[in-house]
Amino acid sequence: MRARFAAANALLKANTRDAVEAALDHFVDMLRLGRSDNLGVRDIIPSLMLRLGHEQQCYDFLKWWANQSDTTDHLDDTNLPLIDPFTAKYCLDLSQLVALTLLKMRMYLDVDSYENPRPWPKRAVGDIVKTRVNPIRYVEHHVSRLMQDLKKQYQALLKVVHDANSHFWEALVDDETRSPPESYSAGSPEEADLAVFHCKASWEESDDAMVMINVETCQFASVYVGANTVDGPRNTNTNPTNTNPTNTNSPYAGQVYTAKSLEKVLGTGRVIPSVFTPFTPFASPADLFPPRFSSSRSLSSRFISSDDQRKALVFAAGACSNDGQSEPRAGWAVVCGPTQADVVTHRLESKGPFGDAWLQTRNRAELRAVIAALRIRDWKNNAFSSIIVATNSAYVVKALKNRDLWELLLGEVERWDNQGLEVQLWKITRKKNIVAYIAAIAATDKPTVPDFGDLVFDTPTRTTAESQTRVLEICLETEDMYDNIYQRFTSGLKARATSVDRATTVEKVLTKLTQQPTPTVILVTDGAITRNKRAFDAVVDHLRKGSTAILACSFSSWVTLGEFNRFFIKLGLPWRRGPYYRTTFRLRPGASGAVPGAARLPASYSPKALLVSNVERSAAWYTEEANSREAAVAWTKVGSGHLGYVGDVNGEDGSYNVVMAMCGLL
């Protein structure tokens, strides 16, 4: 049997119709001779039948396996016919479920060709539908009802397959088909790889099936976690309140600040922090204070007002476990910028700023966080004239107990007022302050801190080495088109970037992203990354660590609806594929402020573009209307890095400037 199994597999490698027919004959005869099927040929046969167009035989075969009796005595009885349906008892194997799903989808597409006939290309209708739908006796309502039934059936089967193995659909739509594993368990990635190995050809040879399955199974896609991520999957964008970071064991890892003992001054009440009131009660921090660089030499972006670059926003939060009970543990957190390195957390000290012991409470931690926000950085030296501290604590805004901290807070307000810096407090919801709040909760688990102390950010600037731009162009499918159409992009990058490298295979992508020094910018020039898991994983891992990834050039032209949406779902973004048209798109005021050189971007230009929809307002650069959530150009944070999308399909001059700006080269 094993020799015959090997011979049949060798025939399949020839990949001709005659070879597939011969292999199918071998497998069917092997099953006839050994119904116990130790080699699992029952999982191979249905897909081969579909490849040969034997749809009715495939259905009968699957029905037979789905309707086995409680006993297995018949498995050794070679006198029983192969097609012998009786009362349903058992479920189908994964490969059989997949074949049944494809069969139902093919039937749906076949019936659709009668409902919506197209002159070209002409679809080859399968044998089952040919017998069910007679063109001579065509009845429109009958065909429509049949289509509805088939759609319900295959969509239900999609869920059944996903429940049986959550890895299968992602493995099927991947361009790379892995070799069959030596062993597997039910529901494992290895089982999914084996099923894909058996069925991939039948899906690819079925007209429109892969395009359709890519769209239909987006509902099962999940955010890619990443092999090297500390924080796990996040829906990270320019609104920090939509992230969900947790600190590492070392809360200060990657943060540039030092412990200092700053002067502590009692406030007199001469200056009281005012309450910040947004122009509309529904405005979010991300809308009013998108991440921007305060200067061209700044290494980190801050939350800076879109209307006034001298105004900065900082988030503060406190938390306390066992608040009001025995052994309370309080912590505070401050978020100064959009990256994890901008999140500072600390246990609430046992003693106040003037040496008195105090009980640990949430209110006290919240107030301590606001003080830390004012003392953590030299805001005036960073060219700011106003600092707004956002907190979800009504206690802080309304000033109640904890006199020592209030006196120190007022002292800080007066100190900054003497230097010309206004301090305002902004009461926001906990949901909008979730990053700082979660960090404060994590801080409650830190060791006890007895004495009051300060953590002060240094003010780093870009050095020559840090400002180097190393670009990796990923051209997996359309290198010739990229070189011919986007010559200005290639020459501009080579003229301005420190280095420009190119990867034309997945293996080269993996190699280039691990070489030192690693690329700071990844320019994705086509859509192959959406169809290759290894390339996607490597790029996203690098992106989340702090690099910039730009989807531009031919990317939008070479992805299907399903591939486009699945890409952003796995990335953790709500973006989806939008409409495709040419019009004049205008740069939204303040949208590109976080990018050095963005002031030189064109105020408007008119590309023919595939828009991305469901884009948060702070991430939309070029839109048709100012408040539109559909953008031809978008830019957002992902982890510690940035992601850019340019939907232009023709390489317009405006898009060249956009890409250069995203690279930091404009």
Asked whether residue 504 is domain-assigned, the answer is yes
CATH value at residue 396: 3.30.420.10
Please tell me whether residues 613 and 516 are part of one structural domain: yes
Nearest to 519 by CA among 472, 551, 473: 472
> What average pLDDT does the structure give for the chain?
82
CA 580 – CA 313 distance, rounded (Å): 37
Identify the sign of the CA torsion 188, 192, 193, 198: positive
Least confident of 62-76, 336-350, 370-384, 443-457: 62-76
Taking each helix axis from N to C end, the angle separating 94-115 and 189-204, rounded to the nearest 10 degrees, works out to 30
Q: How many CA atoms lie within 13 A of 361 on its CB side?
A: 13
Residues 545, 396 within the same domain: no
Position 411 scores a pLDDT of 85
Same domain, 446 and 491: no
What percent of the chain is modeled with pLDDT above 90? Answer: 39
Q: Structurally, how many domains does the chain consist of?
A: 3
**What was the pLDDT predicted at 122?**
60
- Dist CA 371 CA 378 (whole Å): 13
Q: Evaluate whether 328 touches 347 at the Cβ level (below 8 Å).
A: no
Q: Which two tokens stand for residue 158?
A: 């999609």
Query: 268 Cβ partners below 8 Å, 6+ apart?
Result: 410, 414
In a domain, 158, yes or no: yes
CA atoms lying within 13 Å on the CB side of residue 279: 6
The C-alpha atoms of residue 638 and residue 535 are separated, in whole angstroms, by 17
- Coil, strand or helix at 316: strand
d(CA 656, CA 646): 10
What pLDDT score was predicted for residue 530? 96
Verify that 439 and 519 share a domain, yes or no: no
**Helix runs in 182-302, H state only:** 189-204, 209-216, 285-288
Whether 220 contacts 537, CB under 8 Å: no
Of 429, 457, 485, which marks where a domain is finished? 457
For residue 273, being part of any structural domain is answered with yes
- Supply 312's token pair: 């900065």
Mention every residue, 6+ apart, whose C-beta is less than 8 A from residue 232.
Answer: 225, 244, 246
Residues near 497 by beta carbon (within 8 Å), at least 6 away in sequence: 469, 470, 471, 521, 663, 665
Rg (alpha carbons) of the chain, rounded to whole number: 31
Q: Is the pTM of this model over 0.85?
A: no
Indicate whether 243 belongs to any domain: no
Q: How far apart are CA 331 and CA 446, in angstroms?
A: 8
CA distance 621 to 238: 12
Q: 132: exposed, middle or buried (C-beta count within 10 Å: 0-12, 13-18, 19+)?
A: middle
Q: Is residue 231 part of a domain?
A: no
For the chain, the straight-line distance linking the first and the last C-alpha, in angstroms and rounded, comes to: 67
Please give the C-alpha separations between residue 182 and each of 170, 179, 185, 193, 305, in angstroms, as whole numbers. 21, 9, 11, 11, 58
Burial of 420 (0-12, 13-18, 19+ CB in 10 A): exposed
Which residue, 416, 435, 457, sits at the end of a domain?
457
Please state, in angstroms and rounded to a whole number, the distance separating the CA atoms of residues 62 and 92: 8
Q: Give the residue carrying structure tokens 């246990």.
A: 347
Same structural domain, 334 and 186: no
Which tokens hold the place of 564?
């486009």
Last residue of some domain: 457, 484, 508?
457
262: left (phi over 0), alpha (psi -120 to 50) or beta: beta
* 395 or 430, higher pLDDT: 430
| Cis amide bond preceding 121, omega within 30 | yes
**Exposure string for 433-447, b = 16+ CB within 10 A, e = fewer:** bbbbbbbbbbbbebe
Q: Are residues 441 and 534 in the same domain?
A: no
Looking at residues 217-246, what average pLDDT do you find?
53
What's the confidence (pLDDT) of residue 450?
A: 85
Is the domain of 117 the same as that of 145?
A: yes
Give CA–CA dist 548/471, Å, rounded.
9
Report the alpha-carbon distance of residue 625 to residue 603 in Å, rounded. 13
Predicted pLDDT of residue 348:
92
Could you tell me if 414 and 530 lie in one domain? no
Q: Would you say 330 and 320 are in contact if contact means Cβ atoms under 8 Å apart?
A: yes
> Pairing relation of β-strands 311-321 and 329-335?
antiparallel
Quick one: 406 and 318 in the same domain? yes
Out of 22-26, 300-304, 403-407, 612-616, the most confident range is 612-616
In-domain check, residue 239: no
Query: Of 110-114, 335-339, 412-416, 434-438, where does mean pLDDT reach its minimum?
Result: 110-114
Identify the pLDDT of residue 90: 46
Are residue 288 and residue 342 in the same domain, yes or no?
yes
What's the number of CA atoms in the CB half-sphere (13 Å) around residue 516? Answer: 0
What's the confidence (pLDDT) of residue 461?
A: 45
What would the pLDDT profile of 54-76 be if each residue is shown by its tens digit?
999 899 888 887 775 444 444 44
Cis amide linkage into residue 517, ω under 30° from 0? yes
pLDDT by residue (tens digit) across 156-200? Answer: 999 999 999 999 999 999 988 888 888 888 889 999 999 999 999
3-state secondary structure 372-393: HHHHCCCCCCCCCCEEEEEECC
Rounded distance, CA 452 to CA 332, Å? 13
Lowest mean pLDDT among 67-76, 104-113, 465-474: 67-76
Instruction: Evaluate whether residue 131 is within a structural domain.
Output: yes
> Over the range 65-89, which residues count as b (16 or more CB within 10 Å of their CB) and which as e?
bbebeeeeeeeeeeeeeeeeeeeee
Q: Is 234 among the domain residues?
A: no
The answer to whether the beta carbons of residues 512 and 483 sit under 8 Å apart is no
Q: Give the angle subtended at the CA of 152 by the CAs of 148 and 154, to the nearest 5°.
A: 115
How far is the C-alpha of 317 from the C-alpha of 245, rounded, in Å?
Answer: 14
**pLDDT per position as a tens digit, 486-507:** 888 888 899 889 999 999 999 9
Check if the beta carbon of residue 306 is closer than 8 Å to that of residue 290. yes
**Mean pLDDT across 99-112:** 90
- Give pLDDT, residue 580: 95
Q: Pairing state of beta strands 604-605 and 608-613?
A: unpaired
Q: Which two tokens stand for residue 329?
A: 């543990």
Whole-angstrom distance, CA of residue 573 vs CA of residue 553: 21
Total H helices, total E strands in the chain: 21, 21
CATH for 571: 3.40.50.880
Least confidently predicted of 171-180, 231-240, 571-580: 231-240
Q: Are residues 338 and 212 in the same domain?
A: no
User: What confidence tens digit (pLDDT) does each residue in 359-414 have?
Assistant: 999 989 999 999 999 888 888 777 788 999 999 887 765 555 667 787 888 888 88
User: By residue range, what is the domain housing residue 319?
Assistant: 251-457
Same domain, 537 and 513: yes
Closest of 290, 311, 288 to residue 301, by C-alpha: 290
State whether residue 633 is helix, strand or coil. Answer: strand
Which residue in 206, 233, 222 sits closest to 102, CA to CA?
206
